[in-house]
Chain A
Amino acid sequence: MSISRRKFLGWFGGGLSASAVSATGTAMAGGNHHFKGHPDTMGVLHDISRCIGCRKCEEACNRVNDLPKPDKPFDDLSVLDQKRRTHASTYTVVNRFEIDSKPVFVKKQCNHCMEPACASACFVKAFQKTPNGPVAYDESVCVGCRYCMIACPFNIPAYEYDDAFSPAVTKCTLCAPRIEKGQLPGCVESCPKEALIFGNRKQLIKIARERINKYPNRYIDHIYGEHEMGGTSWLYISDVAFSKIGMREDLGTTSAPQLTSGPLAAVPIVVGLWPVLLTGIYAISQRKDKVAAEEQAEAVALAKADADEEMKKQIANVKNQAAKEKKAAIKKEVKKALEAAAKEAEEKNAETPEKKEE
């Protein structure tokens, strides 16, 4: 069976695109299973309408995590005049927004995504979503690339830039050690208004729904974090539009790993098949040259043989012709000689009768 180059490339291209489609379309990088998040994962529901901006959660977070004391004490609420973000030694911040000349307070910390972007961006597996909720960070393997900081859609991970020798990425741990001991996360425990409640994520979603149903005129009919970025362990309900209080509403409902699994799944294919493809193309072009050279040599040989034969033929012809001409010339000469001889004889004969007569 012979395969033309065109056919081969056709098959190859078809195979490549089919594998790319299957990777980006339905399946995850690992195959065709769908990860729905860990069952019975824990989370926190933040009811923004209940928050009074007392910063008790910030204080508790600082205390339970043994973080350095900030310059301004936690009961200094003038801190709220500025919008803040999480910081190497601040795992959570409360920000104040003025909506219709009323203050609205929003707590910000790691949302502990169901399928975290930081974990999918980390190439040393320093981040891991643990089955009970927290997205855990392992400092011992971290190489400090800070890809997690770029990957996080909520701008949460911070970095110890001032630590020259062993800087680490820092973020809220959902108080994983406390949870394991059966305690509540520090911030939740200290919230005087229970604007934060800790519990089973599924249960929290039910509670959030109940509140929205009970006070339809109060709440926005949306649980932030139920589906955002594939869902987060930290959930929010609010009495003002989330976009007005610094919470992104353009994130979509697809988790970061799912967004990147398609292109990432194509990497092995590209990496694996590219050398094969290029080598193939090289081999084909090499072979083409070789064949061409062979064909040329053959043709030259053939032409040479033809030419030889032709020459031989011509020589033979020429020889023949020469022979013929020689023969003809001999004949002619012979004839001429004969004729001359005949004439001579005739002349002799004519003389002879005379002689006879004589």
Chain B
Amino acid sequence: MSFKKIFQQSIWVVIFLLIVSVLYIGALDTTGSTDNGRADIIQIQMTGGKPQMPAVTFFHDLHTASLENQDCSTCHLKGEDKQYSFKFMRTVDFDYDVNMTVYHENCIGCHNQMKSEGKYAGPETGKCRDCHNEDANVPDLWTDLDFDRSLHYRHESAQAIKPVSEKFKNNCGSCHHEYNKEARKTVYIPGKEGACQYCHQEQDSKDVRSMQTVAHESCVNCHQKLKAKRVVKTGPTECKGCHDANLQKEIKQMESVPRIKRNQPDVVLMASAMMKAVQSQTKIKGTIPPVAFNHKKHEMASQTCQKCHHASLEKCSSCHTLSGDKKGQFIPLEKAMHETKSAKSCVGCHAEAQMKKDCAGCHFQMAAGKNTNQCNQCHHVDINDSEQLPSKDDARARMAKSAVDNRNISALMYENKLVPEKVSIDVMAKEYQAADFPHEKVVKTLLARLNKNTLGTYFHQEKYSMCQGCHHNSPQSATPPKCVSCHGKTQTMSTDGRPGLKGAYHGQCIGCHEKMGIEKPAATACIDCHKKKQ
């Protein structure tokens, strides 16, 4: 064998070994991270001093997974209330240097110990940048947990969560409380429950801890305790259980969830403008008619109370006054109800709903919330005389209830003869045969999906309102103009951005299919709609 041949062969062997080692390293799943990312990335950066090093990127679930002792005591201490404090190895914050020592001593100490026991261990002294590394190199999957009605009901109905005292039938007091400043104690007062965030805000304040702190200390401690008692069904104690965007989808949804009872009305008469007119003894003619608001129905549609009641469970107008004042951050009632860009407002939330699959087919082309000729869809309680408006709350509620009950909401229907069965579209006759647009089938499908939810039915009471989805920008009519009436047969130079006929058809058809999740025909499958020319 010549030297050259040996040399060549050895080169091949080296290349082979390199490839194998690269594949091997690639296959090593280092730290139990999921493919898509992690929900347990914590950036530890201490406050109260000038940071000397970059923040520590800490994977919480990675650490809990490596512990034999599955309670939290390896890293967290119990406070006076015998609850874990989820600060690391301390219950209160010390000054900067002491905090730093707590971290260094305990983290590195544990790593050293793990190593001496021959286990996989984290960085030791001297490997500062292994921990002090702000770049996690993994996508962050952390998402806020929406504590929705289903989850609320699962806690409310859980046998393991007992009432705080025998006085109460329900277990609401296990979580809900009021703070008594004088006694410096939390007490449960029935009928005063509200969302945690009303008091526990983003940051710690003098008397009230932040939402983040209390959510962990209350929820995780309770789950941990139940887990220790070997209760079968307990909530998560790891980060990903609540905060992983993918795992959240797997949280069990209850099928029928009863109303959360908190003395709320079933129906409300929203008549602030008219009430003011009556009180100031001005003419009510010209003030906006009241809204009979079906509170009960909206509760069912919304997942949390907070969706609308973002700061308290009081009525909207108690903060958002007619002209707006400081309490309502100078957002007047009208804006609070109609702001398109805020999902807390009526119009904003409805606009959000319009982007759901069943509605988006038509509504994605329309500018959100700009439909000003629909005021009377909500403002429909007819009051022509100031004496017709009851002064008492319960009388007004009765009035609202009768207005709601008397609503005649019927599903939208079209008579067969009204709807053309097929429309032949030959705008691309040069390249393809004319496309047969199944007009009737499309109308029927849209109708079925529209009538699937009451929001759709309610806001399409006007007979030809659905036709406007495609026959847009024209008044409602049984014979709306054809596409070609406005869209030129050929695309010319753009002056107002209005598409030509080809662009208009494709924009409407493909856009609608995409938004409504209709996969066939695919957007690029030309011959599924246009048959090839013979």
Chain A residues at the B interface, C-beta cutoff of 8 Å: 42, 45, 50, 52-54, 75, 77, 184, 188-189, 191-194, 197-200, 203-204, 207, 210-211, 214-217
Contacts and interface: CB of A to CB of B under 8 A. Distances in A.
Interface stretch (B286-294, B308-316, B457-465, B496-504): B496-504
Nearest to B500: A194
Given A193-B503, A197-B494, A200-B493, 7 more contacts: A75-B526, A184-B492, A192-B502, A194-B500, A198-B493, A207-B496, A210-B497
User: Which one of B368, B497, B523, B526 has the greatest number of beta carbons of chain A within 10 Å?
Assistant: B497
Contact of A194 (B368, B491, B496, B526): B491
B499 A194 contact: yes
Nearest to A191: B503
B496 A193 contact: no
24 contacts: A50-B507, A52-B523, A52-B524, A53-B524, A54-B523, A54-B524, A54-B526, A75-B526, A184-B491, A188-B491, A191-B503, A192-B506, A193-B503, A193-B506, A193-B510, A194-B491, A194-B502, A194-B503, A197-B497, A198-B494, A199-B495, A200-B495, A211-B497, A214-B367
Nearest to A103: B523
A189 B506 CA distance: 14
Contacts of A197: 491, 494, 497, 499
B341 interface: yes
A286 B76 CA distance: 86
A207 B494 contact: yes
* Number of chain B interface residues as a range: 20 to 34
Contacts of B500: 194
Contact of A217 (B368, B495, B502): B368
Contacts of A52: 510, 523-524
Given A45-B494, A188-B491, A207-B496, A194 B367 contact: no
A215 B360 CA distance: 13
Contact of A189 (B368, B491, B523): B491
Interface in B469-504: 491-497, 499-500, 502-504
B342 to A, nearest CB: 12
A43 to B, nearest CB: 10
A216 B341 contact: yes
Contacts of A42: 493
Interface of B: 341, 367-368, 491-497, 499-500, 502-504, 506-507, 510, 523-524, 526
Nearest to B514: A52
A325 to B, nearest CB: 101
Contacts of A54: 523-524, 526
A215 B526 CA distance: 28
Given A52-B523, A54-B524, A193 B507 contact: yes
Contacts of B503: 191-194
Contacts of B493: 42, 184, 198-200
A194 B427 CA distance: 14
A198 B526 CA distance: 23
B151 to A, nearest CB: 26
Contacts of A198: 493-494
B354 to A, nearest CB: 11
A217 B499 CA distance: 21
Q: Taking each of B367, B500, B510, B524, which has the highest tally of chain A beta carbons within 10 Å of its own beta carbon?
A: B524
Contacts of A194: 491, 499-500, 502-504, 506-507
Nearest to B527: A75
Nearest to B522: A52
Contact of A204 (B367, B492, B494, B504): B494
A53 B525 CA distance: 11
Contacts of B524: 52-54, 77
Which 9 pairs across A and B sit closest by C-beta, in order of nearness?
Answer: A194-B503, A207-B497, A199-B494, A52-B523, A197-B494, A192-B506, A54-B524, A194-B499, A199-B493
A188 B500 CA distance: 12
A178 to B, nearest CB: 12
A216 B355 CA distance: 13
A65 B336 CA distance: 57
Contacts of A215: 367-368
A194 B490 CA distance: 11
Contacts of A199: 493-495
Contacts of A207: 494, 496-497
A194 B506 CA distance: 8
Contacts of B506: 192-194
Nearest to A214: B367
Nearest to A77: B524
Contacts of A188: 491
Contacts of A211: 497
Nearest to A193: B506
A203 B494 CA distance: 8
A149 B341 CA distance: 46
A191 B428 CA distance: 12
A210 B498 CA distance: 11
Contacts of A184: 491-493
B240 to A, nearest CB: 20
Nearest to A50: B507
A42 to B, nearest CB: 8
Contacts of B507: 50, 193-194
B198 to A, nearest CB: 28
Nearest to A55: B524
A337 to B, nearest CB: 118
A174 to B, nearest CB: 13
A122 B492 CA distance: 34
Nearest to B496: A207
A205 to B, nearest CB: 11
A192 B510 CA distance: 10
Give the one of A54, A193, A199, A200 with max B CB within 10 A: A193
Q: Which of B494, B499, B500, B510 has the most CB of A within 10 A?
A: B494
Contacts of B497: 197, 207, 210-211
A55 to B, nearest CB: 8
Nearest to B370: A214
A215 B368 CA distance: 8
A184 B500 CA distance: 13
B141 to A, nearest CB: 13
A203 B495 contact: yes
Contacts of B499: 194, 197
A244 to B, nearest CB: 14
A203 to B, nearest CB: 6
B100 to A, nearest CB: 37
Contacts of A45: 494
B249 to A, nearest CB: 14
A217 B341 CA distance: 9
Contacts of A192: 502-503, 506, 526
Contacts of B367: 214-215
B187 to A, nearest CB: 44
B433 to A, nearest CB: 16
A77 B523 CA distance: 12
Contacts of A217: 368
B461 to A, nearest CB: 26
A42 B526 CA distance: 30
Contacts of B341: 216
B474 to A, nearest CB: 18
A8 B524 CA distance: 75
Contacts of B504: 194
A211 B367 CA distance: 10
A57 to B, nearest CB: 13
A239 B499 CA distance: 19
Nearest to A200: B493
A327 B236 CA distance: 141
B75 to A, nearest CB: 35
A57 B495 CA distance: 21
B415 to A, nearest CB: 34
A275 B499 CA distance: 63
A25 B497 CA distance: 39
